[in-house]
Structure 1
Amino acid sequence: MIINEIALGVRFLLEVYGTLAIVFNILKMKQMGSHRYIVAVLALFIVIALWMLFVSPKASIQVSSHVRFAIEIVIIGFSILMQYIGGQEIGALLYILLYAISKAIIAFN
């Protein structure tokens, strides 16, 4: 039981890290000029809204597990892509690994 709680805590921290990685790497894109601040804030709100509405344990809109998983994968994939583009390849790999492990522990408990 304690392992499941630890996995849920790790998953939450990974969700926060993934969201911040998206915002941080958008802010690093100098070629976007001052628009990057607007895009970063919009991305933050979009990710948080999608997560709260569809993916979180207390989601406002109940969808099938397949749709929920698809939305989760898109958000996680975007975070991984932004980390990779931002030159954080090892961070992206660790993120994938930790997320997969925590997801498996939660699924099998």
Structure 2
Amino acid sequence: MTLDDLAAIIAQRAGADPEGSWTAKLLAKGPEKCAEKFGEEAIEAIIEAVRDDRAALTREAADVLFHLLVMLHSRGVALADVMAVLDERQGRSGLAEKAARDQRGRD
């Protein structure tokens, strides 16, 4: 499975009956709830990384990716748009990219 596959599944399930689909139920609760759930999953992944439990971290990372894509969908942000930003950043160092963002914030 790719992230594109997962994003397509989320888009498909978004229109499902919330009583029969966790994804539809979460999306029906709105973007704020989707963001909250993403945050919870991210914290759980951090905890497992600190504990050095590879199996648990792997499961939590899957939850993080899933809930990130749900959150993006809830705000109408396409995975392709996120990937385009990452592609745009390729070829420049992370330090140079951060400096450019910091400079834009001061302008």
TM-score, normalised relative to structure 1:
0.36
Larger radius of gyration: 2
Higher RCO structure (Cα 8 Å, ≥6 apart): 1
Q: TM-score, with normalisation over the residues of structure 2? A: 0.36
